[in-house]
Amino acid sequence: MTTKTTNAGAPQTRDERPLGPQQRTRVTDALRIRSWRSAAIVVPFIVLFVVLSVTSGPFLTTSNLLNIADQQSAVLIIAVASTLVLIAGGIDLSVGATYALSAVVSAQVAVSHGVALGIVTGMALGIVAGLINGIVTTFFRVNSLIATLATALIFSGIAAKLSNGNLIVLTNQPAYAKIAQTQFIGVRMSIWLTLAVIIVLGLLLSRTTNGRYIYAAGGNAQAARLAGVRINFVVILAFTINGAAAALGGIIDTSRVLSAQSSSGGNTLTFLVLTGIVVGGTSILGGAGAIWRTVIGVLFIALVGNGFDLLGLDPLYEQITLGLILLVAVGTDAWSRLRHT
């Protein structure tokens, strides 16, 4: 132990002893896991992008790439928010139901009371839905898988009841279309909104105290709690942000097609969101993940679908391919954790 004197003359102590063999091994393993998770999605994404560029002429065009980004805007927004939940140690299976409920309510209010109130109501409903999930998971200590599965059924039922199972059309509200269809320098507003959400949540996770707490909650909740981290607050925050993101995704897609239906979203959207997150390298056990990897994971899944369409392949094989991709991603995560425990 040595003593170091600062410029102000106040002594400070600093432990200059080198790391022991076990500590060095742990650091090396942690860095290796991080690099593996990064390469595990970046390399396949680049390979698939190059293959599609060579095999399909229309693929590498501005219109096609912008179309992919536009169509995936809702999935991307929800996926980057759901990444926070998974890193915090939870899982949200209600995003598809929240998406549909917010879209239906927003459309109904927009038709009756104007677009502005419709958007505000839809977003508020998403926030409340996320808050409910967070409270049930933390204060009532219900497993997030069961809790969000139950709320998904509740939200879906409410959406079906409010709409009577009918399609809500917004053709008499052209202002609603501006949310997603307005273009700025040739790029639709849906894409700009997606970029804004990605940047904000990326900074929240990587540059703020609450972001570090989210990692701590998912990595070792008990140790984090003993260190003074308010685990309940962090988890509720992640679920609330996720609910707001699901509502925004529903509003954007409603704006794109000027209609809303209670059966939209659902299990298909939830599957795409979770697949993109897991393929991107976020651990289903919590404590590890990154926003940028989720973005690449979602776009990778989108490229698979786009490739099947452009190459005229049987869509049934697309489902099989996505299932295999998800299985490999989950298996890789389990294998990497087992190997380095």
Q: Do residues 250 and 100 touch, judged by C-beta distance below 8 A?
A: yes
CA distance 66 to 63: 5
pLDDT value at position 146?
96
Sign of the C-alpha dihedral computed for residues 168, 170, 172 and 176 taken in this order: positive
Q: Is the dihedral of CA 309, 311, 315, 319 positive or negative?
A: negative
Beta carbons of 67 and 305 less than 8 angstroms apart: no
Per-residue DSSP letter, 289: -
Q: Nearest-CA neighbor of 45 among 313, 299, 319? A: 299
CA 324 to chain centre: 20
Give 73's contacts (C-beta < 8 A, 6+ positions apart): 180, 190, 191, 193, 194, 249, 252
Q: What pLDDT is stored for residue 165 in this prediction?
A: 86
Read off the tokens for 13: 């102590």
Residues of the chain with pLDDT under 50: 1-20, 22-33, 35
Given a contact cutoff of 8 angstroms between Cβ atoms, the answer to whether 292 and 79 are in contact is no
Segment 246-297, tens digit of pLDDT: 999 999 999 999 999 999 888 899 999 999 999 998 888 888 899 999 999 9
pLDDT of residue 212: 94
pLDDT digits (tens, 9 = 90+) for 63-95: 999 999 999 999 999 999 999 999 999 999 999
Residue 107: CB atoms within 10 A of its CB come to 28
List the domain boundaries for the chain: 64-275
pTM over 0.85: yes
pLDDT given for residue 333 in this prediction:
67
Residue 1: per-residue pLDDT: 44
Tokens 């709409």 belong to: 163
> What is the structure's pLDDT at 294?
95
pLDDT at 111: 93
**Residue 286 has what pLDDT?**
87
